[in-house]
Amino acid sequence: MKVVTPFHVMSEIMDELEAAEQKHPGWPDDLIHATAIVAEESGEAIQAAIDFMYSDLPEGCVLNTWTDVVRSWLRPQQWQSGR
């Protein structure tokens, strides 16, 4: 498993933010839709962790979990800043 440094984490978060802003410019102005996006990403992180723990997936599949964790961390930041 790879070693994750704070620089690595921030780099992935910034890459994800850039990709999210290109794919979906703007952030919902209303609280319900913004919160739904945050909840969706959190649910995907939980599902990826469950898949990793209880499936016969190769160890490299933990990256799916990591990607979803990065996204679930990023969405509240977008929610707060309205991005």
Write out the DSSP string of 1-62.
Answer: -----HHHHHHHHHHHHHHHHHHS-S--SSHHHHHHHHHHHHHHHHHHHHHHHHS---GGGH
pLDDT of 59 reads 63
Residue 50 has pLDDT above 80, yes or no: yes
Mean pLDDT, the chain, whole residue set: 77
More confident of the two residues 43 and 10: 43
Q: What confidence tier does 82 reach under pLDDT thresholds 50, 70, 90? A: low
pLDDT of 5 reads 75
More confident of the two residues 7 and 33: 33
Q: How far is CA 32 from CA 45, 54, 71, in A?
A: 20, 32, 19
Going from N- to C-terminal start, the domains of the chain cover 27-81
